Amino acid sequence: MNSSGGLSGKTLGWIGTGVMGFSMASHLLKAGYPLVVYTRTASKASSLLEQGARWVDTPAELASQSEIIFTMVGYPQDVEEVYFGKKGIFSSLKRNSILVDMTTTQPSLSIRIAESALNKGAHAVDAPVSGGDIGARNATLSIMAGGEKDIVDSLLPLFQLLGKNIVYQGGPGSGQHAKMCNQIVIAGTMIGVCESLLYAKKSGLNPETLLGAIRQGAAGCWTLENLAPRILKGDYTPGFYVEHFVKDMGIALEEAARMGIQLPGLEKVQQLYLRLQEMGHGKSGTQALILALESLSEEG
């Protein structure tokens, strides 16, 4: 059993066992926490059940058996259903429970969840993450947390099982705004990396030799270090789905419009990702962007 002070012995609930959620839930199990699991596709949780997790049939049932509930699902509509649906978390939430939504979603939805939780004598934190499948597997995620600071602080022993960089951003919705900033940087970085590799190939350079030269210099970044090698191998398996990145960029652009600011770089990258999605790569990893750029070059 874990020995994390006030969290010792508490039952955790986990909803969503996709590319990242599965690894994250596994870390909590391995740390000795009792874990109740719900996911729409039961087979995705089978390995967690073998490790000792308990399965439930609905988010409502999970909420009735858990004191701290984590959600890591795909889209805002999934978050809406998991929390506010007929058999959702709020239909059977216990007083003093803590809700932790780690999905990247709309800041306004996170604020609504926080307000609804307080109305039921509970608390909510929005804590989206960055680091992809690699960060999830290695427990090195960056976690951007919004909500009541004392509640976020109380969750640190759990967050530290999932990531290495946990930063409190402010009140409800602040974690989601921080994640939008993260995604804006990634969008610009990804197109830069892909255009660089395309240029290298067309100019006759050896792309691997090129990477060896630039990854240690001013151009060095996570994307260049972790995803550029996958691109060179033609490996487009998802660390983060294209369709989810399209969703994130859409949220960021909606928020930017609401705030009255222009993000032309993000708009251009989103258009390229929409093209990639139309090419049938919605379930590919974000590094597949180079395929859209190659397609454009062939047309030109």
The set of catalytic residues is 179
What sign for the dihedral angle of Cα 46, 49, 53, 54? positive
| Alpha carbons 19 and 45: distance in angstroms, whole number | 12
Please count the other Cβ atoms lying within 10 Å of the Cβ belonging to residue 271: 12
| Residue 59 near residue 85 (C-beta atoms within 8 A) | yes
Question: Which residues, other chains included, contact 241 with Cβ-Cβ below 8 Å and sequence gap of 6+?
Answer: 19, 282, 283, 284, 285, 286
| Alpha carbons 262 and 256: distance in angstroms, whole number | 7
| Alpha carbons 229 and 219: distance in angstroms, whole number | 15
| Residue 259 near residue 213 (C-beta atoms within 8 A) | no
Half-sphere exposure of 101 (CA within 13 A, CB side): 35
The tokens of 128 are what? 């989206």
What does 250-281 look like in DSSP terms, one character per residue? HHHHHHHHHHT---HHHHHHHHHHHHHHHTT-
In Å, how far are 76, 114, 300 from 82, measured between CA atoms? 10, 14, 45
